[in-house]
Structure 1
Amino acid sequence: MNVFLGIDIGTTNIKCLVLGEDGRILEVIHSLTPKNKERGVEFLDLELTRSYVESIIGKVGALHSLAAIAFSSFGETVIPVRQRKALSKPVMWYDRSTYPLWESHRESVDNLAPYRITGVENSYTFSLYKILLQKELFRPEGVENWLPVSSYLAYSLGGVPAWDMSQACRSFMVNIHSRRWNSQLIKYIGESEETMGELRYTGEPVGHTKSGIPLISAGHDHITGLYAARAFARGKEFLFDSMGSASVIAAVVSGTAESLDFAGPFMPGGTVGIAYEDHQYYIESNVRYYGKLLQSLMDLTQTDATKEGYERLNNEIEKLGQLNSRPLFLVNGDLVVGEGLQGITLLEMPIPLNKEQLMQSAYIYLSSISKRIVDNIEKITRKELPIISGGGGSLNSLLMKYKASLLGKEIWVLPTSELTALGGAFAAAHGVGADEVIEKCVNLLEPEEIHPDEHLVEPLKEIYEKNAKEYLAIERNKKLDIQEG
């Protein structure tokens, strides 16, 4: 059977999804993403990653006829390459070792790359700071191209050195309207458009392996998941709620530089990026620690962070008989404190507090963040949109019930948690003209509908409005501290 392989290099796990030509998901293979730490800096173990990917391609190819392959990955992490070889270790996207470089270059970079053309606020996580850091740490010589992880894997197998547009948006070095590299900013960091590579849309061919298997472009993990969700929407406008280690809520819209002319973010963390064809954009906001927050709390309370562990915990939470709005959470990279804090801060923690109350409060916090993002995006779309959800968090039935109840609308949960890998497989199929495979898959996979619980709607709304006032006060104090500092 002909199959299409989507491989997603995630922050926590590598996910490989095999999609048959009959539209069935034949297999999903998981493995921990290999990382290591040196001198306080966390790196992706690229050799182990590439070796694992090649072994998966070999195993799948031994069982089926591989029709096409596409790779997606987390953003920001980049690799200097020459003649298909990596020249240094890639720094993980979230590592704060780039923070001093961001501080020292921030003013110059902001002048060369205003929000109006980047669609995103300047952050230490972006690829350009990873390039500066790797030059400082490793001084790679003879760099032919800098590539994100997803592009590097395709390039190492025989593809051309090309960036998916969605990954280019995470570099901070692309103009989202002209869809070209920002040559002035690239020159500022000592590079050129040639060393950055070509720009391609998701689903465009980028070459072939040595054995002739087509390689197709896919990109940033959340936006590749959005690519899959778009197929399930069947041409309707929708919101995609991607809940992995991080979280993104996004919509795809048509527009121009004039219609999407934002001088600054439409909300904290608000981003405008390049979608899948000319004049098409995604608008989104994200939370850096979503599943990671829950994982941390499960570890803290020594609770098994498996599906079964969450189910046992959720059963105990539902026995509480009340909604606990405390403690309040402030988390590095969230919509309230942004970069103002590191780690997790708990405010007004009641004494005593058991793990069920703690996790319930975390569910309410995460649901409230989702509502805030949805409300702001719908101000731009000027209409209420249905929600399609995917990612590991969507498997948490109680969290999803809280979210649907607070949002006051049903949520469609797609029947695979590996939506990004599925998006890669869809991109692979589209890249070789096999769109009928995507249609067959959509017809086979029936989303689960999560409806609001009428007993939770009003209590959650009251907690949301009460907490929103407290968070607003925290934001105001933060702004005052910045002005006075």
Structure 2
Amino acid sequence: MPLHDLLLGLDVGTTNIKCLALDSEGKIIVQADERTPLSRPKPGWTDFDPEPIWLAVCRTIRAAVAKVELPDSIKGIAVSGVAESLFPVDKAGHSLGPAIAWFDLRTTAEFAWIRDRIGYDRLFQISGLNPDPMFGLCKLLWSKNHQPELFQKAACWLHMADYIAYRLCNIPATDPSLACRTLAYNLAERAWETELLTEVGVDADVLPPILRSGTLLGPVTPAVAKETNLPATCQVCVGAHDQLSGVFAVSGLAKEVVTDSLGTSATILAIAEKPVFSRALPDHGLAQGAVWIDEPLFYLTGGLFTAGAAIEWFQQQCGGKADFATLTEEAAGADHAIPIFLPHLVRSLTPFPDAQAAAAFVGLRSTTTRGAMFRAVLEGIAFEERAIVEAMETVAGQPRPKEMITIGIPMQNRLLAQIKADVYGLPLKISPVREAVALGVALMAGIGTGVYANGSAAAAAVRQEEISLEPRPDQAKALEARYQVYRDLFLQLQPINHRLHR
């Protein structure tokens, strides 16, 4: 891109709204953030109210633009956001009401009705998803049942990222990575499943066109330019689901790479060339979806609910006054009486979904130290993630990856990363990217505005040198034996945990 051209990436998440500017050398030059406003109208309910969200987005964009030396150099913007939350908009483009948060399960009755009417197997064969009340179609039916006047007025329903892009340029659109989180997207055909929608009483016309991420939509409206201080020439482009945006930024959606994202939870994601319509997939806690940047692709994902949360739990409950660095140092020196830790502090997901699974230390000795226990926590996270990767191979037929890229591990925490490399038996790279989601959609804006020829060129432009770790043969051999014990322990403790939860 010309020397002064800038691209904006906007990430509207559950907790924070983030906006960054990317320069001609692929460097993040400014960023701004603000808390995402949430509304809780009733106990157990959570909404995203459109106007508070929009005003917070405008403030965040203005804050980022204010830090830019030449605001007129901002060439384009794209948006990522959470899935499964749909905003209703009328024919005139006015917001009609809030979006139900993705984790709000008030739609349980609607889900049961869809499941009974359509059938679990048919829903899975259409969407490739394990049907659940959180998906978008259930929220549309909740509105139809509880807000009939609003439902009749709604001309379009838009995911968070699509809604913000619509507010920016007045053009409705979505991409496959968001569309596939509705239950109404035909994964094999890569299109809305109109027959299903008709059967449940939803007009297919209320869902937006499905376009490739990075497709140019149009310039911001004059009102938006005034409200955000964006230049009137700034072009809005189609974004993507936050998870896929982040993976694109760090791996370019490379097929031979598995991405390991560590936060409170952990998500393992692999790119696939075709969907899998075997019930073994949801039975093993694996999910799938679609993404389209350079070519139509699919992805597989599995997760651990308590990864970073298990580390934090141990530090708070067992670490005394020791900080993370001290615990890590102690764990690095632990070489005997190391127990096995099962990290299921909040149920298990992949490869054995079990709402009654529980965490456990097994093999404690009088000589077991705090460092040995903390090392067991780190190993337990790595063991569970290896089990996820193996499930992708055995259940979904995914080829063994050539390497893994991890994001979310602090660059200085080499121990956890090295344990993962040893457990996986694969080269592991630690990505230095910190705002991967916003960076990913900034690249999509670059594709749409012609700054980058395609997704491969965009990802290459921001590729940073990673720390690369190779598995150590001696450690890998020892951990292999411990991993096999770990796998046996889960199955052997499962009936005991079920008895404890009666």
Same fold (TM over 0.5): yes
Normalization by structure 2: what TM-score? 0.82
Matches within 5 A, 1:49-448: 49-62=53-66, 63=68, 64=71, 65-82=73-90, 83-110=92-119, 113-139=122-148, 140-141=150-151, 142-210=153-221, 211-231=232-252, 237-255=256-274, 260=276, 262=278, 264-265=280-281, 268-276=284-292, 280-287=296-303, 289-290=305-306, 293-294=309-310, 297=313, 301=317, 309-322=323-336, 323-326=338-341, 329=344, 331-332=346-347, 334-335=349-350, 338=353, 340-341=355-356, 345-347=358-360, 359-379=374-394, 380-391=397-408, 396-435=413-452, 438=458, 441-442=461-462, 445-448=464-467
Larger radius of gyration: 2
The CA deviation string for residues 321-344 of structure 1, in whole angstroms up to 9 with x for no partner, is 443313552533512553634xx8
* Contact 2:20/2:439 (8 A) holds in 1: yes
**Post-superposition shift, 1:19?**
0.8
2:8 counterpart of 1:5: yes
Partner Cα distance (1:77, 1:432) in 2: 28
Counterpart of 1:96 in 2: which secondary structure?
coil
Partner Cα distance (2:53, 2:281) in 1: 35
Partner Cα distance (1:46, 1:358) in 2: 46
Going from structure 1 to structure 2, the CA distance change for 1:160 and 1:449 (only over 3 Å counts) comes to: same
The CA deviation string for residues 202-230 of structure 1, in whole angstroms up to 9 with x for no partner, is 11123331134211112211111222234
Going from structure 1 to structure 2, the CA distance change for 1:13 and 1:93 (only over 3 Å counts) comes to: same
Query: Which residue is equivalent to 1:483?
Result: none
Partner Cα distance (1:15, 1:451) in 2: 34
Partner Cα distance (1:77, 1:393) in 2: 31
Letter in 2 for 1:402: I
Greater mean deviation of Cα atoms: 344-353 or 23-32: 344-353
Partner Cα distance (1:28, 1:319) in 2: 39
Percentage identity across paired residues of the two chains? 23
Letter in 2 for 1:346: A
2:470 counterpart of 1:451: yes
Partner Cα distance (2:369, 2:51) in 1: 43
Aligned-CA RMSD value: 3.6
Going from structure 1 to structure 2, the CA distance change for 1:407 and 1:348 (only over 3 Å counts) comes to: closer
Question: Of 491, 494, 498, which residue of structure 2 is paired with 1:472?
Answer: 491
Counterpart of 1:123 in 2: which secondary structure?
coil
* Contact 1:45/1:89 (8 A) holds in 2: yes
Which 5+ residue runs of structure 1 have no aligned equivalent?
481-485
**Post-superposition shift, 1:302?**
9.2
* Contact 2:427/2:470 (8 A) holds in 1: yes
Letter in 2 for 1:469: D
The CA deviation string for residues 428-465 of structure 1, in whole angstroms up to 9 with x for no partner, is 1011111177366335x211113334554233322221
Partner Cα distance (2:306, 2:412) in 1: 14
Partner Cα distance (1:278, 1:113) in 2: 30
Partner Cα distance (1:138, 1:19) in 2: 42
Partner Cα distance (1:93, 1:357) in 2: 38
Partner Cα distance (1:7, 1:187) in 2: 34
Partner Cα distance (1:386, 1:56) in 2: 36
Q: What is the count of residue pairs matched by the alignment?
A: 471
Normalization by structure 1: what TM-score? 0.84
